[in-house]
Structures are given as C-alpha cells and as structure tokens.
Structure 1
C-alpha cells in the first residue's frame, strides 16, 4: 500500500473494544442471496447485505463505527466506491479496519490495493473560513462490476480543552437510511459511556398507515445501549413530501439550564475591558454623533464593515467568545466575537442588546430536537430600541439604513444568552414599508410602444439590488429586465424565438437614487418597442402587463406534509398604467376585474381605473411574515393565492379594430357576455 504523507489523520488497526467483532466467516455468511435480495436486484436496486453502525460517546471522545457490505452492480456505485473522501476534524482520526471484496465466492483483502492521501480540506480561506480539517482520500484499485465491497472503519474524535462544550454536552442526530438502498441486515447501536444520562427522542416515525407517531423521549444511563435491528429492510417514506424519521440524542438538560450554563461565559467577556480603554478613537467618533438613530447606525455599520468576519470551524462549537479588545485590535473575529464587540459598543451608547444563539439552516427542527447548545451554529444580536425588537447579524456586509430600515432576518427560534432564559419564538412580523414599490407606464402611439418602469426597493430588497447593480455588467442587467418583460407583456406567446434585444430597442436602466439612511434604492428602466401589442391567432390585439412575480407559486405548489409552509414575502405595491391611441373594450371582464383578499396571513387588493383609451391597476400586497402557516389554515391560504393568480396580478386591454366588420364582431361579443 502506498502512503504519501504522515499517518496522523488515519490509522489501519483493529476496532475498539466497544465495536462489534466480525470475522471473515461471519461476513461471508451474511452475504447470501435470498428471495428478498434477488427481488431488489431484479428491480435494479443496489443491495446492501450488511450495515452495522455504532455511535459511541464518553466523557473523552465521540466515535462512530460502520461495517458495510454492498453490491457494485451499477457503474455509478463502482465509480464512487473506487474513490472516496473522508473529512476529519482536528484531533479526529479515521481508522480503517477492513477493505475487502467478495468476488465469485472468494473474500479478497484490498488493503494492499488501497492508496491513501491526506490533504488539507481548506478551500474557502479567502472567504474568511478557517478550518484545520483534513481530507483523507482513499483510492481502491481493481474494483469490478458485480463485486461485493466490504468496508469496516471508525472515526474517533478525542476531546481537547477547546472542545469543552462537547465534553460537557452530547448532540447527535441519527437519520434513518436512504430509501434507495435495500438492506439484508441492518443494525444501529448507540452506546452511552458518559457519566450523565443521555436523552433520546424519536421523531417522524410512522405507523402502518403512514401517520406520524407521537415523539417518544427516553433515557440512557452510563453503560446502556439503544439498538435498532432489522432484517430485509427498506426505509419507506415519501422523500418529496415527508421528513426522514430521525432520533435526536442529547445530554439530558433543559433550555433554562443551558442558558444558565452559557451566560456566565459571555458575562465574563463583557466585563474584561471598557470601550473607552481599548477603542478611544471609536468612542471619539461615537461621541461626535448627536442623533441617537445615526449613532446606532454608525455602531452597526462599523462592526459589520470594519471588522473582518472569520469563521473558525474549530472554535465555533466551543461557544467561548473572543475578548472584544482583541476583536477590535485585530479587526477580525467570528460571529461570537463580532456580536460581543457590537454589544459592548451598544452598551456604551446605552442601547439595550443581548447575544442570541440561532441556527437558520435547521430552524424548523429546533422544537423537534431535544434542548442542546450544540443545536445552534450562529450568533447574532437582539436589540431593543424605541419599543421595538430588532435582530442584527454582525457578520453581514453591505447592509444599510437606520435600524428600522435595515434588512430583516427570517428565523423563528432562538436562545437568549442570559440567565434563566428558555427557548424563545419570535412574533410574526408586518413590515412598515414596501420592499417593492413600482410604477409602470406603457403607452402605444402610432404602433410604437414606450415603456417606463420606476422601482423603489427597500430593506432586504434594497441591499440585494444595490449589490446586484454593483457587481453585475450593465448589459446583463438590461437583458435580465428585457427577459422579464418579454413574459410580462405576453410576447412569449406571439413572438417566441425572437431575439429579445431586437424587441426592446434602446433599453436602458439607471440608478435614480440611493438613500443609505432610508435604505431605499430606486431605478428607472426605459425602452421603445415596435409593435407593442400582443396578437393572438385570431389577429386580436391586446396591451398586457402581468407581473408573474406577484404570483407566489411556491405557496400554490407547496405539498409537504411534515414541514409547514414558511411565509417570508415582502410588502409589495404596484401601479400599472396602459395607454393607447386605439379604441378599447371598456367592459371587458378581465380589464375591469378587481379583487379584495383578506386572508389571516396576507391582504391583497387590486383596483382598476378604465378610460376609453387605457386602463390602470393599483395593487397592494401586505403579508404577515416570519411564521409557519398551520396545516389547518393552509388550503384556504393556497386558494387565496389561486385567486391572485386568476388574472388579479396585472391588467390587459382589448383593442377594438376599426371597420364595420370589427364593430359588428365587437357588438356580437358584447351581447354574448
């Protein structure tokens, strides 16, 4: 076997005492064809003869063991089995116990045909993400189609002083296996060798009818095991609409106990030094700002933009923040360090704030998990100001505005780093401003259309659009708007395949204004269009403007049964004015149709104004956001969005063509209505 670098990140040795002892005869005996295995292979499914997984935890280490024997009947599986990467953390070792194949009934040791390299797993350092993880690259020569590959390995993570949180608390989520594989023998074992009890909670397991069972919470004392063992097993659940059943293991604790454990760690850091002592120049700038709103904005902007964000993966789980004086001096820190520095700055200007723990990626699952500090992976700041509560991410960049105008962070659950705090749930939110406020003027005179859009973005939308215009080529931006309007004006149905640049002649888009306090970003788009009318197959002409962004297809198409719909839309306001020099049908159904929707989760109105040569629509959309729509309310919520989609998201006008025959056709059409 070829070893190209030192072996400190991996070893080749026998399993630990807590792991199973499986000899060659036992392996060969387990790899037997059966009616069940033959059926899976006939159906084109790969087959796993044996999967024995063990998770072992003690006060000194967390370790995982797996012995697996599976078919290489598919070229894709053969390819992935031949080359594998295993990422190991600092002080974690990947241990190989066995690599073999069963080929035509003969067990062949493949250790000699295995090449191992250890590489740095460091590919994002330029983005401020630091990690001492290593990547163990394993290449196995001469694997053949229809081999049965057998691998037996472990990962052992020995705790250091920096892992004090992992020493004190366990967090492990066991997820039931993929629905792709069929298993002859499947076994999972969790071993608690810690001094403290481990709680475990089963979630999203189902009965024979597919109904989710009530979660179970049980406990394991030191030396006790939890075991799942199945024969001829396929994990059935609907991957598109259901959550895979899982079991959450965590050191038995409550949210209040956890808050009381972590709060002193932060309180000690807050008291290390005063801002006046370690940041006199910053204090001088703060003191020079007399307006409180502007002083708060300056404080947030300073920490977000003048202190570089570094995510240190090895230290993040430690939850022990860097001292604010160090963060200020070095002008860099992770989310904990930046949040603590911002809190110390806000303490100086007498603005109430506190550090909170969040996990945006698994926010929905937090109430399904057991209480654990290791559930959280990010730290932000909660600010109470003028009777309102705001959440600020100190690691964000290119955020602007007074605090009420800054971007809104969507999440539901958080743990405040204070004594005697439980898990908190944010209240639903209503925006006081419009994320999009747009006016559209589209006039057609002498077969030439002139189109003008003036759009003001605010909050998250302003921050995003500001970055977009800064980082994107102007031609690309114009093409993006042209493409959007190609569908909005319905040209996709009468001139599809036409070069869009030839339709929107002399299209230009410019920044009109950028107010950094109000966080409002206004742009204007102008274009001229020859033949501005959409023409159907009967040669009827229409001016149309239907902005499909107003139709929330994510809500209309949502079908998940276990995850509620997450409501996170902006307030939107539109005025669309269509004008022509032709006579129009002022009584056409969709031209005059209006709507009023008062759903518990959003209000939507569309109002029309029609003249002999044009029409206008005024749309106002105000959702209640940052909440999950309860299942009992969802169908009514979905149907309300269907109403929006039923021609209430824009306006069209029908042209009455000149000539006696056309007038007769129009009169006949009116009598039929």
Structure 2
C-alpha cells in the first residue's frame, strides 16, 4: 500500500479560524502599528503560532498563520503552497481558508494536491528521497487574508539515533512580515532534559550578548512570545541569531552511544564476503601498497550515495552489504574501509566532521547531528592521516594523498571529546614551477614546467580528463598573459595574435607518489612592454603569493579561513639585449618570516637576464579574525610590496654602439 504523505484533518482547526472569532483579531487593522506596515506596502501577519513537540519516537511541528495577500508575489506563493517532506514525515492539513469581506471562506474543497518525488542528484551521487507536496488553491484574491494550519509529524525509524538525541535550531522570523502576535513553543516530551544555547544575539550597539543557557525538563515547555512585532533584519557581515536546542548530553556521553552502535559493524569477517579482494591484497609487495589498494578500492569502486535524510539519523550499512551492492553513503564506505584496514592490522577510527559549519562545532550544543560527514582517521607509523572514503579522484600511498582542511572532529570512540586538527604546512611544496622565457629578436620562447602534488595533482588530472587541450592551453595562455603584464599592451581577445606554437602535455604522472608533471610551451611575439623609448620584460604571479581575500573580508562573526597551497617557483628571464643590472626592483629580494607564512625571494643577475627563486609556505586549515587578521593582511601587503616575481629593464643601444656593431658585423 502506498504511503499517504498528506492527510486532511480539519477537526484540529483552532478556534481563532472560526467565523465567530475573526472580528477579534481583525481589529488589528485599526491600530497605528498595522497602518504603518501597510503604508510601507508590507504584508501583515495577524498571528503566527509555531509549536515543536519533541517526543521519544517522533517530532510534531505545528504551524498556524493568518496573513494578508496584499502583494501579487505573496498571493502566488499562497496559491501554490509547497512542503518538502522526508520519507518518515506526513503532512496533516487542518485549515486552508481566506477571510474576504469579513467572511471566512473554507478552501479545503478548492484544492488540488500534487505529490512528486523531490530528487536532487549530482555527479557525486547525492540524492534525497524526499517528497514535494504542492497544494494548489483555487480562487485566491488580492487583499484576502489567508489562514493556514498544518502539522508535520515525523516518525523515527527504530534504528534512528533521533530516538535518543533531539536537536532543533531556532531562528527568529525575518523582516518580510510584521506580526500582531507571534509565539514559538518547544514542548519537551522526549523523556530527557533538553538544553538550549543562545548564539549571536546582540544589544542595541551590535555587541553580542552572552545569555545563559536554558534547560527544558521533560514535560516542560520553552516559549517565545512577541506582540506588535517586526521580523528581525540581519546586518551584512553578521550571523543570524539562533538558539540551538539539543538533548542535554556532553560529547563523552554521545561517543559512548555512538561507539556501541558502530562497534558491531566492525566485527565483519572480510574473508566471507571479499575473498577475491583479499587475495589481491595479499599479492601486493608491501603493507603501504596494500593500504593504498584498499583505499582506492573503496573510493573508486564503491559508488557514493548521499541521502540527506539518513546521514545522521540511522545506523551505518553493514560492510558486506556495501561490498555486495557496490554503493553506500559516507558512513557505509568508511565502515567498509575500516574493516579492510582492520584486516591489514592498521588501526583506524571513524570520525565525524562538518565541512560546511566546521568552525561552529565548539559553539553548538553537543549533539551527533551537528556533523554532516564521516571520514576515517588512520594511525600509521606514528603518524595520523585522514582519508575521505567518498573521494573518487585521489591517488597515491597514504602520505601522498590529498589532505583535507577541517578544524574540529568527533572520534567515534567511547569517552572521547571534540578534537581539533591543527593548522599545517605542506612539504614538499604542492606546486613547483620552472618558468623560462628566452627572448631573441623580439620573440620569446616560453616554457612552464610544473610539478603538482596532492590535491592539486588530483585537480590537474581531472582537468586533462574533462577538458580539451585547446581549452587547457587557452587557460594557460591567459595566465601567462597576465603574469607577463601583457594586459598593459593589448586586450585578452588579441592573445592568439601574439601566442603561437602553443602546446600542453603531461610529461609524467606518478600515481603512487600522487605527483604529476606538465609542460606548457609557447612562442610569444613582441613580449616587451614599452614606455616611451624604454622596454621591459616581466613575470609576476600575484595569485600564488598574495591572499587578496583577506583584505576584502569584512564579516564580523565568521573568521577568515586560510587554506593556501605551498609554492616553489623559479623564473628565468633572458634576452639578447643588455639589461640594467642595478635597477632596484630587478635586484629586490625579500625574506618574510611570520607566524602566518614564510615567503622568500632570491635572485641571480647577469648581463642578459635574471633568475628569480621564490618559496612560499602558508598555512592550511587556519582560521583567524580580529587583530590576527589585521596582522595577516599586513604580511600580505609586505609580499605585495616586496616581490611576486621579477622584471628587467632593457638597456637600449646608443647611436655609437649601433654603428660599432655594424662594423663588427653584429
């Protein structure tokens, strides 16, 4: 029997929606507050009642609203009222009516309900088995008052963690409506105490208020009530204030429950379901190669499915099922990888992370549901590595694979607290480039040899896989054009007039070391910049060495995240003309040592050219704000004002030198 996703239940309509009571709340139209809102052409909400009821095996969300349809857009939205339901949710419709000319008109007989799959699917296998419930309401008029009352009941499945942990994040309504009466209630019938913490509430000066947490005992209720209330407007660069409600547990208590849940899934005998894979592993010459093979298998041969409604609410899929079906979500893939590593004698633990809200994990009330992803923490040869089993394009032995940035994580190990991954610098550099530009008779033979590692190597392989050589060359042409400052000479649309014999190729791809080498070549005509009678040759790379985002970052609450690649670069500019060896910018070197990064430039200067050597070692996974951000900006200004590359000035021949060359046959 097909599940009912919506049920008409008018018996639960509230008294306020009845004809005999409408005059009472329509009197709001006589108030100065109402008139002021209408003068501003705002829609008006006569009441908004929201009640969330946390039960031991379910959540009920009741909403009752009566609001004006004075704007065509609001009218259209009401006429096509939409709900997105998870598979465990059912929509109960109590009231759909309008007040027109002082009369309540029931609309339950004037509706057509559409139930459609709400599937969002992407290249990474993300999907959601939600339903889109659209209520089409006939014959709504401008200036009607629309009344809607609904309850969404979510019944938790038996294996859902939500039977043990509740979480709800509350935010005040936005500035679109004004309200005669607004009420939010959180009823606690979960059998456990709930804890609520206030975040980013401010006083009149904009300073964040430190408010005490609230504790809602079992069978207790938390209430927010407002009269003649305008929704709150959030200033640009500020985080919307919210209250974070969760079952009152600390992380130690949470990991006790999670560890017990996951432990039974680790007790899997891989020989019973993956005998052929084990044979392949045993044929490999070293433990390092076996670890790599296991990671590659799970990342590349198990299809990643992300189901938003199940990510944090259900126990993981068993390893044998994941292996057999060749698909699973992040928990399923990570459990399988752990089971394979357990077989190899490699200690690992599953950890929970939140890539999108990582910085808030210590702020949120502790809960399993503040995390949105599971990865594996691997202990190998006295080092710790984090591997995301859902990544498809990674390569290399364990120490050479990509490193992900996230600050906080929760290890699914009994009794553990929230842990922190410290900022790190990558060695050897993720990017190494050797640029050679040799100019003879106003034409340059240009080459760029790049050695790319880790995540940048992965991205480069994807680029060659998914783009044509022509498009890749076009990208490189544009980069060289900018770095040589040729944009001061001609427009980007003219690059093809000056760049010829261009080519790009992968010279070497060492997948074991996750290192790829590419070679770009071009012949560039008229490479010099000219200013009067002077000629210059430049190569500067601002993108690698200056973090422009820091100076443009103005968020008051959110920190600035530093996650930049380490770079080593050589630039060799040579010419058949003499250069000014004493020019100060040509000779300029720097050695900037700060707590945020290290940047060093040295040079070798000869009669016909300069070699410039740059090393840039920033941090990754570093969040800063306030005075720290100010200091980081100053360091970037130092780099900007010191050296991002090299430029040379051509010493033009005098009249007598030109005559002398004629006699010498030069």
Please show how residues 341-490 of structure 1 align to structure 2 within 5 Å. 341-490=336-485
Secondary structure of the 1:216 match is: coil
Kindly report which structure 2 residues correspond to 1:232-631, keeping only aligned pairs within 5 A, or say none: 232-236=228-232, 238-271=234-267, 273-496=268-491, 498-536=493-531, 538=532, 540-550=534-544, 551-631=546-626
Residues of 1 paired with 2:489 and 2:140: CA distance? 56
Relative to structure 1, the CA distance from residue 34 to residue 608 in structure 2 (aligned partners, 3 Å threshold; closer, same or farther) is farther
Partner of residue 158, structure 1: 155
1:194 aligns with 2:186: no
Q: Structure 1: 5+ residue runs without aligned partners?
A: 664-673
Q: Deviations over 1:46-103 (max 9, x none)?
A: 5544432221211132122223344555554444444343211113112223334455
Q: Could you tell me whether the CA contact under 8 Å between 2:478 and 2:492 is conserved in 1?
A: no
1:221 is matched with 217
Separation in structure 2 between the aligned mates of residue 335 and residue 20 of structure 1, nearest angstrom: 47
Taking a change above 3 Å as real, the CA distance of residues 645 and 177 of structure 1, as seen in their structure-2 partners, is: farther
Which whole-Å CA distance do the structure 2 matches of 1:41 and 1:6 have between them?
46
Closer, same or farther: CA 582–246 of 1 in aligned 2, 3 Å: same
Identify if the C-alpha distance between structure 1 residues 113 and 387 changes in structure 2 by more than 3 Å, giving closer, same or farther: same
User: Which structure 2 residues correspond to residues 137-156 of structure 1 after superposition, within 5 A?
Assistant: 137-156=134-153
- Residue by residue, what CA displacement relative to the aligned partner does 1:226-249 show, whole Å, maximum 9, x if unpaired? 122223434556543111101011
Q: In 2, are the aligned partners of 1:15 and 1:154 still within 8 Å (CA)?
A: no
Q: 1:583 to 1:295 in 2, by over 3 A?
A: same
Structure 1 14/289 Cα, relative in aligned 2: closer, same or farther at 3 Å?
Answer: same
Indicate which of 54, 59, 75 corresponds to 1:57.
54
State the secondary structure of the residue aligned to 2:493: coil
Given the alignment, which residue of 110, 118, 122 partners 1:121? Answer: 118
In structure 2, which of residues 59, 82, 85 is the aligned counterpart of residue 85 of structure 1?
82
TM-superposition CA deviations, 1:126-156 (whole Å, max 9, x none): 8544543211123334445555544332221
CA distance in 2, matches of 1:317, 1:277: 29
8 Å CA contact 1:199–1:252 kept in 2: the answer is yes
**Deviation by residue 1:363-394 (Cα, 9 ceiling, x = unmatched):** 11211111111222221110011111111111
Distance 2:33 2:314 in 1: 49
Whether contact under 8 Å (1:319, 1:336) holds in the other structure is no
C-alpha contact (below 8 Å) 2:79/2:137 kept by paired residues: yes
Q: 1:567–1:135: structure 2 CA closer, same or farther, 3 Å change rule?
A: same
Alpha-carbon contact 2:17-2:147 (below 8 Å) kept: no
CA, structure 1 residues 41+457, in 2 after alignment: closer, same or farther (shift >3 Å)? farther
TM-score (normalizing by structure 2): 0.91
How far apart in 2 are the matches of 1:381 and 1:642? 39
Alpha-carbon distance, 1:433 to partner = 1.9
CA 1:6–1:437 in structure 2 vs 1: closer, same or farther (change >3 Å)? Answer: same
Report the Cα distance in structure 1 between the residues aligned to 2:114 and 2:598, rounded to whole angstroms: 59
Measure, in 2, the Cα distance between the counterparts of 1:36 and 1:588.
Answer: 71
Distance 1:526 1:160, change over 3 A: same
Partners in 1 of 2:51 and 2:265 — Cα distance? 39
How far 1:287 sits from its partner (Å)? 1.8
C-alpha distance in 1 between matches for 2:175 and 2:607 = 62
- The SS at the match of 2:393 is coil
Compute the displacement of 1:117 (Å).
0.4
Q: CA RMSD in A?
A: 2.8
Separation in structure 2 between the aligned mates of residue 438 and residue 135 of structure 1, nearest angstrom: 51
CA contact (8 A) 1:30 1:49 kept: no
Q: Deviations over 1:319-371 (max 9, x none)?
A: 42222222223322222222111111111211111111222122112111111
Provide the C-alpha distance between the structure 1 equivalents of 2:580 and 2:73, rounded to a whole number of angstroms.
61
Q: Deviations over 1:490-509 (max 9, x none)?
A: 22233126333233223211
